[in-house]
Amino acid sequence: MSGEGDTPQAIRKLVPGRLVIASHNAGKVREIRELLGPYGIEPVSAAELDLPEPEETGTTFVANAELKALQAADLSGLPALADDSGLCVEALNNEPGIFSARWAGEGRDFALAMQRVEDRFAQLPPETGRDAHFVCALALAWPDGHVEWFEGRVDGTLVWPPRGDRGFGYDPMFVPAGHAVSFGEMEPAAKHAMSHRADAFRQLVAAVL
């Protein structure tokens, strides 16, 4: 999945060494560090390098991930990995989607964001389905502008009130399909085995590591 136009390109491999995680979200950085742990990669976060957070002007998860990765790679001179992910609620026309973080406000208050989702359900008929899915787009960029991207997904349903204090973001209100516990209640290793981020990471690992 190369970012260099429509002509098929060979997948570029990532060599062991330093890699910028282009995120200021501590929970996301922690998950990515854990997923990268076995591969000889030395992750350093954008916050540790004092890199600015770009405005997310893309209209898709992939576009937002690419712009974050490209900026971090350009400013740091290192390969950079960016994640853009969000919750898509089918009854809400797949909102909040790419605006998932923005629903949490400037203070990144995801209790507020989850309440906003539930408030929207309160305006719908009580029999409305609560199907939802998480999407994760990963973009891996090099300082010369080359980009590879990968997109993962996990399906589930929403519960209220939120359950559990593990994970981050909307995890406490999302129960993955086939399970009885929310991502907020689940052991991190179990979540990593099935999450949207894990799905995208499996594709990345198979392609570039």
Q: Is 6 among the residues known to form the active site?
A: no
Cβ atoms of residues 69 and 102 within 8 Å = no
Q: Which residues are CB-neighbours of 89 under 8 A, at least 6 positions away?
A: 95, 96, 117, 120, 130, 131, 132, 158
Which of 84, 119, 131, 155 is an active site residue? 84
Tell me the C-alpha distance between 160 and 163, whole Å. 8
Per DSSP, what are the bridge partners of residue 176? 156
Give CA angle at 146 (2, 12), nearest 5°.
65
Q: Which residues are CB-neighbours of 60 under 8 A, at least 6 positions away?
A: 98, 137
In DSSP notation, 144-201 reads: TS-EEEEEEEEEEEE-SS---SSSSTTGGGEEETT-SS-TTTS-HHHHHTTSHHHHHH
Task: Indicate the DSSP class of residue 36.
Answer: H
Catalytically annotated residues: 84
